[in-house]
Amino acid sequence: MSDAAIAIEALRFAWPGHPPALDIDSFTMARGERLFLRGPSGSGKSTLLGLIAGVLQPAAGRIEVLGRDMSALSAAARDRVRADHLGVIFQMFNLVPYLSVTGNVTLPLLFSPVRRKTVGDDAEGEARRLLDRLGLSDPGLLNRRVSDLSVGQQQRVAAARALIGGPDIVIADEPTSALDSDARDRFIELLSEEAARTGAALLFVSHDRSLASHFSRAVDLGEINHAQVAA
């Protein structure tokens, strides 16, 4: 099973003081796969991503990320796996307001020697190359405060950040729900292309089932999750 990017078995999770939010028998995602995970609001998508990213700990079951059993690792080791091998894109407000555009893109390198090494000495240059490929080449744009960028631009900066240093898995939690349909399609295209180019597996989460066509495989969280969700 160690050839899988993500492998989940008999996973159970509940927020403290709440009924179980997740109860998943089995879920796998292959390395390099581009997978669409669909589910209505409140169905536990973000919660699942938190578990995969090692920020949350399951009550029971197994989560393997790149062959490592996350629940068997120490908190620090889980943080290390995330730093070295994962890129995360949120729905919005992805950027640290006090960092420049390139500062935001290179942020993961601060916490991961592995990715620092992959990128080499010219982190700024690599950031600009990534931004360029994602359609942010205007030098004037790079000097703007990140809070002055449009939401679509912010999301592309976040994508560049998730991709820098060649992580094995990119997790995108509804990254397009604040974008109009043109920008959304363009964003998904660029993100898929870049993930394919770097060989990263892409786990794309959304409640919008129309996006499934962009991906090679789609999974409905409602179908694999047996927990009674209040939503």
Partner 1 sequence: MRALLSLAWKSLLNRKGSVLLTLFAVALSVALFVGVDKARTGAREGFGNTISGTDLIIGAPTGSINLLLYSVFRMGNATAEISWPTYEKLAARDDIAWTVPISLGDSHRGFRVLGTNHSYFEHYKYGHNEPLRMAEGKEFDDLFDAVIGADVARELGYTVGTEIVLSHGLGSDFGSGHENRPFRVSGILAPTGTPVDRTVHVSLEAITAIHVGWESGAKNPMSDSISTETIRSFNLTPKSITAVFAGLRQKGTILRTRREINTNKGEPLMAIIPGQALAELWSVTAMAERALMAVSIFVIAVGVVSILTSILTSLNERRREMSILRAVGARPGHIFGLLTLEAGLIGFFGASLGIVIVHVLIAIAGPLVSERYGISLGGTGPGLFDLGVLGAVTLASLLAGAVPAWAAFRRSLADGLSVRL
Ligand X SMILES: Nc1ncnc2c1ncn2[C@@H]1O[C@H](COP(=O)(O)OP(=O)(O)OP(=O)(O)O)[C@@H](O)[C@H]1O
Give the pairing type, strands 201-206 and 34-38: parallel
- Residue ranges in contact with Mg ion by CB under 5 A: 46
Query: Which listed option, ligand X, Mg ion, partner 1, none, makes contact with residue 80 (CB within 5 to 8 Å by class)?
Result: partner 1
Nearest to 60 by CA among 125, 97, 12: 12
> The tokens of 71 are what?
């629940």
- For partner 1, the closer CB: 13 or 27: 13
Interface with partner 1, residue 79, by CB under 8 A? yes
CA pair distance 179, 49, nearest whole angstrom: 21
State which residue, 54 or 165, has the beta carbon closest to ligand X: 54
CA distance 118 to 170: 16
SS3 at position 47: helix
- For residues 1 and 28, what is the distance between their CA atoms, to the nearest angstrom? 9
- The CB-of-221 to ligand X minimum distance in angstroms stands at 7
Residue number, nearest CB to Mg ion:
46
List the one residue from 20, 32, 40, 50 that touches partner 1 (CB under 8 A).
50
Please identify, using beta-carbon distances, which residue of 19 and 67 lies nearer to ligand X.
19
111 binds, among Mg ion, partner 1, ligand X, none (CB under 5 to 8 A by kind): partner 1
The one-letter code for the residue type at 99 is L
Residue 93 touching partner 1 (CB under 8 A): yes
Residue in 212, 158, 222 with CA at minimum distance from that of residue 24: 222
Q: By C-beta, is 8 or 123 nearer to ligand X?
A: 8
CA angle 127, 129, 131 (to 5 degrees): 70
Q: Interaction with ligand X in 22-61: which residues (CB under 6 A)?
A: 39, 41-47
Contacts of 213 (CB under 8 A, 6+ apart): none
For position 230 contacting ligand X by CB under 6 A, the verdict is yes
- Residue 110 binds to partner 1 (criterion: CB under 8 A): yes
Burial of 50: CB neighbours in 10 Å, binned 0-12, 13-18, 19+: middle
Closer residue to ligand X, CB minimum distance, 51 or 164 = 51
Q: Residue 43, interface with partner 1 (CB under 8 A)? A: no
Of 68, 129, 186, 207, the residue at the interface with ligand X (CB under 6 A) is 207
Binding residues for ligand X (CB under 6 A): 15, 18, 21, 39, 41-47, 207, 230-231
